[in-house]
Amino acid sequence: MPRGKRCIAHTHTSITAEEYHHVQPQARGGLTKPENMVWLCASAHSDVHYFLDEIERRAKHHELHPELVPGVFAATFGPKVRQVARLGWSRYAVAFIAGHLDAHALIWSSSGEPREDQPMVPPYWLATRRTESEHWLSRARVHLAEHRAMTEGEILL
């Protein structure tokens, strides 16, 4: 993990752990481009995603202006954390509210972590007791067998 004093949310007097943050989260369609990236300390990065998840929760409950998280909750975050979160929200809010991101957003939080309030889809290998590559290899074998049977049937006719 990189270390430095480049966090835009907090002023650090000593070198601290830093992370690149996607202003529009990757889990919400954000790209890894310079105009979508900022440096945050690990604490601010976590806070921004937590704040974004609260905005999304309010948006799902059809609250007017969900980005204006009220009073006590918002006050626990610094003004720059709120600013970065609201900027990110402004970049994908329309798609989120229209439901274009909803299938993904139901399961994954803005940080890309599984949501605690939603049932998780089990990993593929757990649900099928085999790896994804084993699944596709099996499907290919079935497809090949069907293709051979069809071809042999055509020759016999």
Q: What is the pLDDT of residues 41-59, one digit of tens each?
A: 988 998 998 888 888 888 8
Residues 87 and 155 in one domain: no
Domain carrying residue 97: 3-119
Residues 112 and 55 in one domain: yes
Of 30, 35, 8, the residue nearest 19 (C-alpha): 8
Which residue shows structure tokens 């909803």? 102
Of 119, 95, 93, 87, the residue nearest 106 (C-alpha): 119
Residue 62 has pLDDT above 90, yes or no: no
Residues 141 and 113 in one domain: no
Residues 97 and 28 in one domain: yes
Residue 124 has pLDDT above 90, yes or no: no
Residue 81 has pLDDT above 50, yes or no: yes
CB 71 within 8 A of CB 64: no
Residues 81 and 136 in one domain: no
Domain count, the chain: 2
Residues 24 and 91 in one domain: yes
At 142, the pLDDT band (50, 70, 90 cuts) reads confident
What mean pLDDT value characterizes the chain? 76
